Amino acid sequence: MSKKKRVFDINFDDATVEADTSVPAGTAEARRGPMAAAITENAQALNARQAAEAAIREENDALAHEHVRLKKAGLITDLIPLDSVRTSKLTRDRAPGRDAEIDELKRSIAEIGLSNPIRVEPVEGGYELIQGFRRFTAFQELFAETGDEAFARIPAGINARGEDMLRLYRRMVDENMVRRGVSFGEMAQLAMSYKMQEPTLESYDQAVELLYASAGRQKRSYIKHFVRLLAETSGALRHVEAIPRALGLAVVKKLDELPESKPVLKGLLDAEKDRTSEQEMTALSAYLTATAEQRQRGRAGGAVTRKAKTTFRLARPEGEAKCTVADGRLELRLARDFSGVERKKLEAAVTAFLKVLDGDA
């Protein structure tokens, strides 16, 4: 029985293979057939491709980690549409109404662009503004006035989602603390709004201490007094931003001394429903006058007693000094910045002054 030849047997004796003269004789390449060479080349190409893919994946991972790091730090900046930005998350530390300084900011943006991007936080369907309300408002007005598409999108630093509320408020506060024009009343309003958004806070005073931690102790004390003023008037004050520090502190002091006079203050404020800021300041001053007379009546058994007011002037190198003296008050007006005098020096001067009046010097 003859042996059956397998179909895959290769009879190299019957095949005539032309030698590759391009490969030196006696080398490994010379001993390797065409198929083996092709397999080797394919394997080498596959290895090179895998190495390139691994390098790309490594680079992409590094870029992704860097993107996350920059986003957490709030350093990712993009141009975002104005209509995608909301402004409801944070209560602003400015009075309602148009900012009188916004036109100057608009001129600057129109001429040289926006040098400091706003800051936003991604939310469903858009972004929530967390810093830069005036800049955002300026862009809105410029786009409405000009229709220029350059103002339809605003440069924005995109913060990580869900940042701590206190941190967001502190950023806004610390940015604006150095800006002139923010009154103690506005700062008090902001502290009260923050307390309402953070029910874990025990008091308004705690909110002030947290928000204005970078401010001096005296400044925080003034803010707390204005918080009490707003709380005592239960939202009746309509021009908080216009209340001078001295007037606000005086009203709080009178409310402490004569808590029964609170209805008097409320009545004066309610008398002018559509009052201007000047009328509101007049009402607060009238309250101080009314409580002073009430206190004098108590001292005199019901009769209102008034002491004469004394006024005199003194010549000084800085100019004329005007002194006004009344019951419980001495006022000195002079063209000099007393805020630049060291506190200890002022205390020593006032102490010496009172000693002279008492006849001790």
pLDDT at residue number 221: 92
Q: What integer is the mean pLDDT of 246-256? A: 92
Mean pLDDT of the chain, nearest integer:
78
Give the chain's radius of gyration (CA, Å): 39
Residues facing residue 254 across a β-bridge: none
Q: In this predicted model, which residue has the larger pLDDT, 219 or 336?
A: 219
Asked whether 262 and 248 are in contact (CB, 8 A), the reply is no
Residue 24 has pLDDT above 70, yes or no: no
Q: Is 142 exposed, middle or buried (0-12, 13-18, 19+ CB in 10 A)?
A: buried
Q: Which residue has the tokens 């590094």?
A: 62
Q: Which residues of 236-256 are buried (b: 16+ CB within 10 A; e: fewer)?
A: ebbbbbbbeeebbbbbbebbe
DSSP H or E run through 171:
helix 165-177
Q: CA dihedral in degrees (241, 242, 246, 252; nearest 10)?
A: -60
CA distances from 248 to 225, 235, 251, 308, 331 (A): 8, 15, 5, 26, 18
Residue 17 has pLDDT above 70, yes or no: no
**What tokens were used for 281?**
């300041």
Confidence class for position 143, pLDDT limits 50, 70, 90? very high
Q: What integer is the mean pLDDT of 226-248? A: 91
Give 346's Cβ-side CA count (13 Å radius).
Answer: 7
Model confidence over 86-121: pLDDT tens digits? Answer: 987 776 655 556 666 788 889 889 988 888 888 888
- What beta strand segments (E) does the chain contain? 76-81, 85-86, 118-123, 126-131, 153-158, 310-316, 319-326, 329-333
DSSP 8-state secondary structure symbol assigned to residue 97: S
Q: What is the DSSP string of 231-253?
A: HHHTT--S-GGG--HHHHHHHHH
pLDDT at residue number 337: 77
Residue 16 has pLDDT above 80, yes or no: no
Residue 12 has pLDDT above 70, yes or no: no
pLDDT at residue number 72: 63
Question: Angle, nearest 10°, between helix axes 165-177 and 184-197?
Answer: 170
Residue 64 has pLDDT above 90, yes or no: no
Q: Which of 171, 177, 149 is nearest to 159 (CA)?
A: 171
DSSP H or E run through 61:
helix 34-72
247 backbone φψ class: left, alpha, beta (φ>0; ψ -120 to 50):
alpha
Confidence class for position 215, pLDDT limits 50, 70, 90? confident
